């Protein structure tokens, strides 16, 4: 079982470029999350999707958009990347949202120059 798969694992962008981080889970989970992690800080929630077709803002949504394409996939888009978006991005999924265990991907390391 792959669990939660994130692509790409590494990406370097120039300021103003756009890109999409992809996330897919094979556990038939309803809820999916995008977090970012910066050095010395915990994870901060960017967006959350309780179920297919629904999305909700988290703690730090500015500069990001998301798409819950289907039950399996939840993508995160940076329309115009900024150096402040240099971070490690984690996707996670859960069968029952915050009431249960989250399963995490291995992270996508993004550098914006």
Partner 1 sequence: SQQGEEDPQALSIQEGENATMNCSYKTSINNLQWYRQNSGRGLVHLILIRSNEREKHSGRLRVTLDTSKKSSSLLITASRAADTASYFCATDYGNTGKLIFGQGTTLQVKP
The binding site for partner 1 (CB under 8 A) comprises: 4, 31, 33, 35, 40-45, 48, 50, 56, 58-59, 90, 92, 94, 97-107
Q: State the Cα–Cα distance between residues 77 and 84, nearest whole angstrom.
A: 15
Least CB distance to partner 1 at residue 12 (A): 18
Least CB distance to partner 1 at residue 52 (A): 14
Least CB distance to partner 1 at residue 75 (A): 18
Residue at token pair 């859960």: 94
Closer to partner 1 by Cβ: residue 18 or 51: 51
Phi-psi region of 63 (alpha: psi -120 to 50; beta: other; left: phi over 0): left
Closest CA to 63 of 79, 49, 75, 50: 79
Which pair of structure tokens corresponds to residue 63?
């500069």
Closer to partner 1 by Cβ: residue 17 or 97: 97
Cis peptide before 16 (omega within 30 of 0): no
Closer to partner 1 by Cβ: residue 17 or 88: 88
């Amino acid at each position: 079982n792959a669990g939660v798969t994130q692509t790409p694992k590494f990406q370097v962008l120039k300021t103003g470029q756009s890109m999409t981080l992809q996330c897919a889970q094979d556990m038939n989970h309803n809820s999916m999350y995008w977090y970012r992690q910066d050095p010395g800080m915990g994870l901060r929630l960017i967006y959350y999707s309780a179920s297919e077709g629904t999305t909700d803002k988290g703690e730090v949504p500015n500069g990001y958009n998301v798409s819950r394409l289907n039950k399996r996939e939840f993508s995160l888009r940076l329309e115009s990347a900024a150096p402040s978006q240099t971070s490690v991005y984690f996707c996670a999924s859960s069968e029952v949202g915050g009431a249960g265990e989250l399963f995490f991907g291995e992270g996508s390391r993004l550098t914006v120059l």
